[in-house]
Chain A
Amino acid sequence: MISLFRILLLSGLFCFGRLASAADSLDTIIIDAGVDDPVRIAVVPFRQRVSMTADGKPLYAFDGLQNMSDIIGFDLARSGQFAPLDEGNMLSYPAEHKEVFFRDWRILGVEYLVIGRANFEFNGDVSVSYHLYDIANERQLLSDRVTATRAKWRDIAHHISDVVFEKTTGIRGAFSTKIIYVLAKDAGSPSATFSLELADSDGERARTLFSSHEPILSASWSPDGRQVAYVSFETGRPAIVLQYIESGSRELLTQFPGINSAPVFSPDGRSLAMVLSRDGNPEIYVMNLADRRLRRMTRHHAIDTEPSWTPDGQNLVFTSDRGGKPQIYQLEMSTNFIERLTFQGDYNARARLLPDGRHLIFVHRRNGVFHIAWQDLERDVLRVLTQTSLDESPSLAPNGTMLIYATQDRGKGILAVVSIDGRVKYRLPSSSGDVREPSWSPFIRTLSEG
């Protein structure tokens, strides 16, 4: 099983020393850029206590578990909004409220402080209590306790990152989310394999959902995060497959003559937009998932493809070359009114709308190079977000602050993340092969309630 990162490389005063030494894999998250003035936060190593049996032997061990503070600190760092304080520069290591001295942190220039403790219960569950402080105002902002099984160790850490992020920035955190992507090994050779991988949003804990000797592409999450629809060539020709993530059970949705491509769930999860060429050439259809009935949405001899839904589920945006070159159009489904949305550049494709419905991200070609661009639909302003080349398949985090996309690095397919304002950037390469076609999950529940 691959893990996409081990090391954090972050220049500047505030940096992480511990993670670098923990490297046991070639794979690296490389943070290329953050905001100019990130929030200074200190995440103190959590105090980890081992329960003893009556004869003094440790009941459970923390072996193999990364300290929770490392995971949280790294989450916050890769958001680009935070600069976590290096552990070596800390003056004290409080783990509970009475050990916190605000002055210690103020002189270090820290704005927020996170402390916590992790204990193993007798049943083997992990119990984590944590606190968040506002140093300038000498105030405790948050105090909570989470209990889950040992297997949920990283989920607990991501949950705490989410809570801290939301409390300090006002934006819902998306660290507990997952990504799905395609890993291609020996692509182009007869022994090529393609696998659909599911991983945490930081690239950790990857597992294979499906693998094949034929290409896989266009993975799309259902809004409840339980299913994924994708295109598989396993039969030698493209087909749309629906797979349940937990059980792994798969169902062939469409395999019409011609292409079956670009499935995307509607916001309510009841329909799937897709591209079929069964009626002659690539057109957009919407399938009602309850009765599997198809409704044809476009009718043009040009290519119509890459549909996606507006957040209200009333319109589809799609790519069409009806104007001679690929551009993005919007279809109002109730009236069939079609409007062109992009006018800058001669290649704009695969658009996705931000949750506000007012902004678009898409693949945009400028000076012959493919980048990810952002466009304000009301003000008609376009901004290129990436400096890499051959960028494609942008997929938004559910909180709309970041997007993941596929790009090339020295001829190798890698994943990369950029914030919507273009200021925060990091890369997720893989040593196992080419990675591509990323799809960011919706908000999902990784810890059971209670």
Chain B
Amino acid sequence: MARHLVYVLCAASAAHFALDAAAAVPVEESVAEVRENRTEERRPPPTRPFTAPPTIEAEQPAQGNQRLSQLFYQLQILQQEVQELRGIAEEQTYKLNRLARDQQEQYIDLDRRMAALRSNSPTPAVSGSTSKAGGFASTTTQVGGSGTERDAYTAAFNLMKGRQFEESATAFNQLIVDYPNGQYTPNAFYWLGELYLTNVETEKARQSFVQVVNLYPDHQKVPDALYKLGVVYHRLGDAQESLRYLDRVRNEHPQSSAAGLAETYASELQ
């Protein structure tokens, strides 16, 4: 059966070559010429390259007709199927390209984050935190004292509420160093972003919000962070990227309050 299908396919592609060849003749011609060609096509051409061998014609001509119409029908179905497959291929190529692009962006962000960590933290602290950041980190934070992490977070948060922005930023940064896999780490990144935004340190704000989105894609702060990235990119003068994030909030988190904010912000942008 599979072999038969191959023959039909070969023949189908041959049919297309022939169709194209026939159609390729009047590529550039006047209307009058085309009309002439049309009438000419109705006459049988002088030579016929594909005349069926007389033996088979003589044997079963009527069956031949029936088989031919069945083949025509099969060809139609195959064409339809090929079209659908083409559609799937087009869509998957598109998705792959998008994924590749997104992944590259994520990698660049990760790279920047690593660089920032290396340059910002004093060496002993880094080694200390990286050891915590290993496989035992989560147990450490949970067992070692979610209380202390919560205390650190509450303290940093209260500093922010008290409008001591610089101190608050330092506290949140320390929390991230001390509890890299902590329960409040995503929140710390988010509030850092807010603090930097207030302090017009837009690039730092961008990096903080990107951390929330990329490292904690399921976190509740993600819609807000996406919206803020829209704001950040707008301030950085990249309207294109700004709209992309605003659209992400609306598409990925349509129920969030950030979606409404993003909608308003995007409409003001345009």
**Which residues on A are within 8 Å of B, measured CB to CB?**
254, 256-257, 278-280, 291-296, 299, 301-302, 321-325, 327, 340, 343, 376, 378-379, 381, 421, 423
Contact = CB atoms under 8 A, between A and B. Distances in A.
A294 B86 contact: no
B19 A301 contact: yes
B23 A280 contact: yes
Interface SS, A side: loop
Interface in B55-109: 79-80, 83-88, 90-91, 94
A300 to B, nearest CB: 9
Contacts of A293: 28-31
16 contacts: A279-B23, A293-B29, A293-B30, A293-B31, A296-B26, A299-B23, A301-B19, A322-B86, A323-B83, A323-B91, A324-B87, A324-B88, A343-B94, A379-B240, A379-B247, A381-B247
B263 to A, nearest CB: 11
A256 B26 CA distance: 13
- Interface size grouping (class) on chain B: 20 to 34
A381 B243 contact: yes
B27 A324 contact: no
A325 B270 contact: no
Nearest to A296: B27
Contacts of A421: 267, 270
Contact of B28 (A278, A294, A340): A294
A331 to B, nearest CB: 15
A294 B29 contact: yes
A142 to B, nearest CB: 27
Nearest to A297: B27
Contacts of B34: 256, 278, 294
Query: What are the nearest 9 A-B pairs in CB distance?
Result: A323-B87, A324-B84, A324-B87, A279-B23, A324-B83, A381-B247, A343-B94, A292-B31, A323-B86
Majority DSSP secondary structure for residues of B touching A:
helix
Contacts of B26: 279, 294, 296
A279 B24 CA distance: 9
Given A295-B27, A301-B16, A379-B240, 6 more contacts: A254-B31, A256-B38, A257-B38, A280-B23, A294-B28, A323-B83
A155 B240 CA distance: 40
B247 A278 contact: no
B214 to A, nearest CB: 20
Interface string B243-258: 1100100000000000
A53 B41 CA distance: 76
A254 B91 CA distance: 36
Contacts of A302: 79, 83
A321 B90 contact: no
B20 interface: yes
A394 B87 CA distance: 25
Nearest to B79: A301
Contacts of A299: 20, 23
Contact of A296 (B23, B85, B243): B23
Contacts of A321: 83
A294 B87 CA distance: 29
